[in-house]
Amino acid sequence: MNKAGTFIASDGTIYVDNKRYFWWFSLLIPSAAVAGPLLYQFINHEFFLWLFFILVYTIFPIVDYLMGEDSSNPPESVLPLLESDPFYSIITRMNVPVVIASFIFCAWFVASNQLSIYGYLAVALLAGSIGGHGLNIGHELGHKRKKLDIWLAKIVLAPAAYGHFFIEHNRGHHKHVATPEDPASAKMGESIYRFALRELPGAILRAHNIEKLRMKKAGKSAWSFENEFLQAMLMTLGLFVSLVVWLGSGVVPYLIICAFWSMWQLTSANYVEHYGLLRQKLPSGRYERPQPHHSWNSNHIFSNWALFHLQRHSDHHANATRSYQSLRHFSGLPTLPSGYFGMYVVAYVPWLWFKVMDKRLLQVTGGDFAKINVLAQKRDKLIRKYQSTSKVAF
């Protein structure tokens, strides 16, 4: 690397990372969330506590649309230089104390101010949004090999009460993605609400079983402190109990709402990322390796800045340890019409989601239902509905 943001590979390739300093936008999520409570301190009106949700579900999708898409890729020869530049890991690591501090600040805020039920709810949901951002940070850090990053991932997942994600995602979802057996892969015809009822308990159970099996193979008790599922539960319990001791029992509803809404943010992302896409079974009975076309992608600029290229999901599944700054765009893949912020809004209205996404799913699979992960209870109904426009394989 010659100067900040300019990389010169051994083969002479020169690459300038024009996104380098825009990754700081990742701090916008927790910063914007606490802006409402801070404004409330100066202007005593609970309206400000809801401003963040106007930003996320209205302004952010509009900004995404106006800024458009960026499909540029770093050259392959430059990737090792991008991966070794500590600048990018510093940004993700810095998000960890920001998330934790924001979560604690919001807990203090609800305990220290006389809020209506709606004001209390707003702040708890704000903190849940921060927790959801923390889950994305934990997702990025949890795929790294350095012990510091792994422990930071565990810490940042604690406020969301979702520390098991570190286990379930890496050793469960990545193995079973885009198959009917994966609780984190949505099926065609499955609403986000029905998906959540399957995904949330399924993820917890799978993480527990994965660690239980690992402990058994290591000849250790499932109650060993080396059990990372147990570690995750204890970290959340320790954090929550400490806040209750410090701030009183009035924060208990806050903690419950916050944890739920944090999980809901992850559920929203999981629902969008693989909806209806299916890996094929081989003659051996095993599934084919995950391919780029088993994930939905988006190159919308603003949401990718805020979410660490999470929307370049195909390359992430192909190269799980690859850092966000190195993730590439692939042509001809299942593509979302908006960034995640916009797609979340669509997903929350099931009839609109099906109207928008089922047509796209049929297009990318050639209308072949043998290539679609379909909700079993709706399979026949969906085939009848789309048979006039789809090539149906039985």
Measured N-to-C along each axis, helices 340-347 and 60-67 cross at an angle, to the nearest 10 degrees, of: 130
84-114, pLDDT tens digit by residue? 999 999 999 999 999 999 999 999 999 999 9
pLDDT of residue 387: 78
Asked if pLDDT for residue 10 goes beyond 80, the answer is yes
Rounded-to-10 torsion of CA 290, 293, 298, 303: -10
208-247, pLDDT tens digit by residue? 999 999 999 999 998 998 999 999 999 999 999 999 999 9
User: Among residues of the chain, what percentage have pLDDT more than 90?
Assistant: 85
CB-CB neighbours of 261 under 10 Å: 20
Asked if pLDDT for residue 369 goes beyond 70, the answer is yes
pTM of the model: 0.92
- Helix H or strand E segment including 179: none
Mean pLDDT score of the chain, rounded to an integer? 93
* DSSP states of 151-184: HHHHHHHGGGT-TTHHHHIIIIIHHHTTSTT-TT
pLDDT of residue 381: 93
82-92, pLDDT tens digit by residue? 999 999 999 99
Place 392 in a pLDDT band, splitting at 50, 70 and 90: very low
144-157, pLDDT tens digit by residue? 989 999 999 999 99
User: Among residues of the chain, what percentage have pLDDT more than 70?
Assistant: 97
CA 72 – CA 70 distance, rounded (Å): 6
289-332, pLDDT tens digit by residue? 999 999 999 999 999 999 999 999 999 998 888 999 999 998 88
The predicted model gives 118-130 an average pLDDT of: 96
Inter-residue long-range contacts of 211-217, CB under 8 Å, 24+ positions, other chains counted: 211/167
- Residue 357's nearest CA partner among 341, 340, 334 is 334
Asked if pLDDT for residue 132 goes beyond 50, the answer is yes
Asked if pLDDT for residue 388 goes beyond 80, the answer is no
For residues 262-278, one letter each, b for 16 or more C-beta atoms within 10 angstroms of the residue's C-beta and e for the rest, the string is: bbbbbbbbbbbbbbbbb
- Helix H or strand E segment including 289: none
Owner of token pair 């770093």: 74
DSSP E strand boundaries for the chain = 6-8, 14-16
180-204, pLDDT tens digit by residue? 999 999 999 999 999 999 999 999 9
